Amino acid sequence: MGCCSTFKGLVAGSVVGGLVAVMGIILIPLGDMLIGSTVKKEGVIEPGTTAYENWVSAGAPVYRQFWLYNVLNPDDVVNNGSIPQVQEQGPYTYRTRYLPKENITFDLNTVSFVLPAGAIFEPTMSVGPEEDNVTVLNLVVAGSLTVVPKPLHNLVNFLIKNTKSSLFMTRTVKEVLWGYRDPILNDVTGVFYPYNNTFDGPYNISTGKDDISKVSLINSWQDSSLLPFWDDPYCNMLNGSDASSFPPFVEKKKPLYFFSSDICRSVSAAYSSTHNLKGIDVYRYMLTPNTLASPNVNPDNMCYCRDMEVTKNCSMAGVLDVSACRDGYPIYISLPHFLYGSPELNQAIQGMSPHEEHHATYLDVEPITGFTLRFAKRIQMNMMYGPSDKITVLNKVKDFTIFPVVWLNETAMLDDATADMFKEELVSKVNLLDTMQISLISVGIIACVVLGIAACVVHRNDERKIVA
């Protein structure tokens, strides 16, 4: 009688263990459903949600670090046609994106806004004051080759000589970046002029209220659903978000798309690795060499190729001609130090040293919410100049040259307070559910197996006693 009771008890315990394991398995979709419900509620861009609070204004400080390319042999380049030698000078750091979005207007499931621009110098994060001098490419002289019609090049040469200008100029960091009065134009120009008190946009994006998979995706920029810069519908497409956040439930195998007005086009980033950021797992997405590859390697880039002569019949990799969105100035965008670029880019300039760790662009995205918690956007501003028989300072130039002026690293990372809030509101709950699921499944399976084996042993012993 006792053996029978023991056997039944072990069988019952084994069944209970199995049920406990089943409960753990049931918790998986149930937990995912609870998390998904929370994300879908708090991820919508509307007043009162977590997404809205983070979207209106950057929670973490955003900095732009600038390295300018100081030219070491300007006279030799102009007088003898020597290869330019440069040395990067920086960083000079500014706080940006500290102003909240303006003109926020909701309409059904979309919201429109503009991004105000501003830059505040941070001397403690810089190698020197804004008043440091640097010798860089003369923006107006270099640009005049292509901006000014050839019949007027004699006049350009007269103005260059009359103002004692040259292919290179020495100015302060502040002047080069934010503007100076050029003697030839008798007007203000600069690499990023105008910037302060200007606006990017307007943007129109999806709030995600009707479909969370569309949240943050751009519907239009400057009141158009297509870009006006490229002579092709594909290159003019507005894809993805502005990279500050993406639709939730990010999958490693799928690229992330985003639009950047700095480079006048949409790009994609591919999953690279997983990192732990202040106790939060994030997926790192990086711009790949394919982004600025030559059309020979990436045919999708053919519609970004605009000048066959400068780009060697569109065979050059690593640069993007953005003259169409820079008032016709021959400005080329690249990664710093021509990372992933064709060898001839670095061979034309001495002092370039590309390194993926320091010069690649990446985004660290929390996969459940789609929030970008850390990023480093690194781009380089270059200008093109070439040979001219009428403009004296270009007489010795042997070939078209894409010359680096400055590269920037725009960075931000969530602060400790935001990280703690994020962990409390999301990570801790996910971890708790995971722990409960694993514990129930593990304990249930172990109990089911151990008690099941024990029941079999008891049953076998009972049978032996009966036979005996």
Question: pLDDT, tens digit, for every residue of 327-361?
Answer: 889 999 999 999 999 999 999 999 999 999 999 99
pTM, full prediction: 0.85
Average predicted confidence (pLDDT) for the chain: 86
Hey, what are 313's tokens? Answer: 């019949």
Which pLDDT score, from 0 to 100, does residue 305 have?
Answer: 93
**Which tokens go with 125?**
């994060």
| pLDDT tier for residue 418 given thresholds of 50, 70 and 90 | confident
Q: Is the same domain home to 351 and 444?
A: no
**Average pLDDT of the segment spanning 301-306:** 93
Q: Is the peptide bond before 74 cis (omega within 30 degrees of 0)?
A: no
**How much is the pLDDT for 125?**
98
- 332 and 433 within one domain: no
Q: What is the mean pLDDT of residues 4-30?
A: 46
Q: What is the mean pLDDT of residues 286-311?
A: 93
With beta carbons less than 8 A apart as the criterion, state whether 65 and 409 touch: yes
**Length reported for the chain:** 468
Residues 349 and 379 in one domain: yes
pLDDT value of position 466: 53
**Cβ pair 407, 336 in contact under 8 A:** yes
Question: Does the residue 12 lie in any domain?
Answer: no
User: What pLDDT was estimated at residue 98?
Assistant: 85
10 occurs within a structural domain: no
Q: What is the pLDDT of residue 410?
A: 97
Do residues 343 and 437 both lie within one domain?
Answer: no
Q: What pLDDT shows up at residue 54?
A: 83
Number of structural domains found in the chain:
2
The CA distance from 197 to 441, in Å, is 59
In a domain, 2, yes or no: no
**Which residues, in sequence order, are CB contacts of 251 under 8 Å at separation 6+?**
367
Q: Are residues 373 and 431 in the same domain?
A: no
pLDDT in tens, 34-50: 555 667 777 899 998 88
pLDDT at residue 399 greater than cutoff 60:
yes
The pLDDT score that the predictor gives to residue 3 is: 54
pLDDT band (50, 70, 90) for residue 32: very low
Q: What is the pLDDT of residue 437?
A: 47
Answer yes or no: is 5 within a domain: no
Domain of residue 35: give its range.
Answer: 17-59+425-468
Residue 23 reports pLDDT greater than 50: no
Predicted confidence at residue 22, as pLDDT, reads: 44
Closest CA to 318 of 339, 297, 295, 287: 339
Retrieve residue 133's tokens.
């001098």
Q: Give pLDDT tens digits for 240-266.
A: 999 999 998 899 999 999 999 999 999
**pLDDT single digits (tens) 160-188:** 999 999 999 999 999 999 999 999 999 99
Domain boundary among 380, 395, 414: 414
